[in-house]
Amino acid sequence: MNQNKSSTGLEPNIGGFLSYLFGWLTGLIFLFLEKENKYIRFHALQSIFVFGTLNILYVLITVFQGIVISIAWGITGEELIIGAITGIFGLFIFLINVASLALWITLMIKAYKNETFEIPVAGEIAKKQVGW
């Protein structure tokens, strides 16, 4: 669904695209700026849910990594073990970043093409919130 009327003065596909540009931050901006267009509001909300969740996940993993390294250092003091733990967490964070980048690009392209691409759970919640 793509309404033509937008309180931001932007075409809906541009507003949807821009909702993802800087992740949850631009999603939040467009959620507050756009009052009429459900297409833009959907993409703004989905951006907040998806990239907000990914940011929180990144912070939690980083904090957990610090805790695990501190415990391992206190128990063993072995640099090899600390390096292995750092490498494992680093790989996990790298994979999340690659997936986030692919998702970010996909969502911007789909929004620009006037497609309502729903991410499971986040898209469903966003759709309900905008009244689709």
Spatial separation of the C-alpha atoms in residues 108 and 34, rounded to whole Å: 18
Give the global pTM.
Answer: 0.85
Domain hosting residue 22, numbered range = 12-130
Residues 6 or more apart whose Cβ sits within 8 Å of residue 127:
42, 118
pLDDT at 126: 94
pLDDT tens digits for range 70-127: 888 777 777 888 888 888 889 989 999 999 999 999 999 999 999 989 999 999 999 9
pLDDT at 4: 74
- Quote the number of domains for the chain: 1
In a domain, 5, yes or no: no
Residue 38, pLDDT > 80, answer: yes
pLDDT tens digits for range 65-75: 888 888 887 77
In a domain, 107, yes or no: yes
In a domain, 3, yes or no: no
In a domain, 111, yes or no: yes
